[in-house]
């Protein structure tokens, strides 16, 4: 994924700071003395899984005025209420102007990691792994996929450029399962195909498909199709799978379950930034 040093993440931080601070934090400039120093600490106010802490140094480095910064938790770590993410010391103005941007990243990304961990825990003991999707916030995909990984998911394709996923509309446009697969034979990229009927499933296997996507099946239907595959290909299940149903789908024997809700519906978690003046 490239980590927090990836240029896309630096650009996301730059845009977020520009959006919030603009020409300057007028409230802090008027209310806080220029030389005032302060300390601040990010604290969990609920049980959660940490994600996004590596963005915090980028935020403070971009604004300057920070004397010290210390991480107290890492991505993937569970925190109880009252647990600390990080502490920072420096210009009170800098700490205040960066507060909302820092919290927005932490609350959003830790929310994704927390929900992802719930899905991963729900299928513990099965062979199945949770996959994320491309249903991400525009401009934040790399960060949000880092958050799903922190929560225990496997990252699926980053975009349309690094993985071939032949879905129903591709099959229709290509003229069927066989011609769609035939046109991908010379690629070095992984190839996965969605099949909608048992006939398409049989055709895909006959064409040598090694990755299959079953969408919108019941757990019972999924189990029947997985038995038919007999480990001739890896199987991914998708389509409205919830925390309440994910265990039943995992017990159907699939290799992966993809869940768009990890990123498109994860609630932000409750995190507080407490400041003390020196």
CB 209 within 8 A of CB 193: yes
Write down the catalytic residue from 37, 41, 89, 100.
Answer: 100
Write down the catalytic residue from 194, 200, 236, 255.
Answer: 194
Q: Minimal CA–CA distance to 264: which of 84, 125, 99, 108?
A: 108
Q: How far apart are CA 62 and CA 82, in angstroms?
A: 28
| 215 noted as active-site residue | yes
CA 212 from centroid of its chain's CA atoms: 22
Write down the catalytic residue from 78, 89, 129, 135.
Answer: 135
| 210 noted as active-site residue | no
| Cα separations in angstroms, 249 against 26, 149, 218, 239 | 53, 21, 8, 11
Write down the catalytic residue from 215, 247, 251, 270.
Answer: 215
DSSP 8-state class, residue 155: P
Write down the catalytic residue from 37, 167, 196, 247.
Answer: 167
State the burial class of residue 7 (Cβ atoms within 10 Å of its Cβ: 0-12, 13-18, 19+).
Answer: exposed
| 167 noted as active-site residue | yes
How many alpha carbons lie under 13 Å from residue 20 in its C-beta half-sphere? 18
| Cα separations in angstroms, 103 against 4, 210, 240, 260 | 16, 42, 30, 23
CB 134 within 8 A of CB 145: no
Which ranges in 123-218 belong to alpha helices (H)? 141-151, 168-174, 177-182, 198-206
- What positions carry a catalytic annotation? 100, 135, 167, 194, 215
């Amino acid at each position: 994924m490239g980590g927090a040093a990836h240029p896309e993440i630096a650009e996301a931080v730059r845009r977020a700071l520009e959006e919030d601070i603009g020409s300057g934090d007028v409230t802090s400039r008027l209310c806080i003395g220029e030389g005032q120093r302060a300390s601040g600490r990010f604290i969990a106010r609920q049980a959660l899984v940490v994600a996004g802490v590596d963005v915090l140094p980028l935020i403070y480095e971009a604004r300057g005025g920070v004397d010290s910064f210390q991480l107290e938790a890492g991505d993937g770590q569970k925190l109880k209420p009252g647990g600390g993410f990080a502490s920072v010391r420096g210009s009170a103005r800098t700490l205040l102007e960066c507060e909302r941007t820092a919290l927005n990243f932490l609350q959003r990304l830790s929310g994704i990691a927390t929900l992802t961990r719930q899905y991963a825990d729900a299928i513990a003991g099965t062979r199945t792994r949770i996959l994320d999707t491309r249903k991400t916030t525009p401009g934040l995909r790399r960060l949000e996929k880092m958050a799903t990984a922190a929560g225990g998911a496997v990252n699926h394709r980053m975009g349309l450029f690094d993985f071939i996923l032949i879905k129903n509309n591709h099959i229709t446009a290509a003229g069927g399962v066989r011609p769609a697969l035939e046109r991908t034979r010379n690629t070095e990229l992984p190839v996965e195909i969605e099949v909608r009927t048992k006939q398409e499933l049989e055709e895909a296997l006959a064409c040598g498909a090694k990755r299959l996507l079953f969408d919108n099946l019941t757990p019972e239907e999924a189990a029947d199709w997985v038995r038919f595959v007999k480990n001739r290909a890896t199987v991914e299940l998708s389509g409205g799978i919830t925390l309440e149903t994910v265990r039943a789908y995992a017990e159907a024997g699939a290799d992966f379950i993809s869940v768009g809700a990890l990123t498109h519906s994860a609630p932000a978690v409750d995190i507080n930034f407490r400041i003390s003046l020196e």
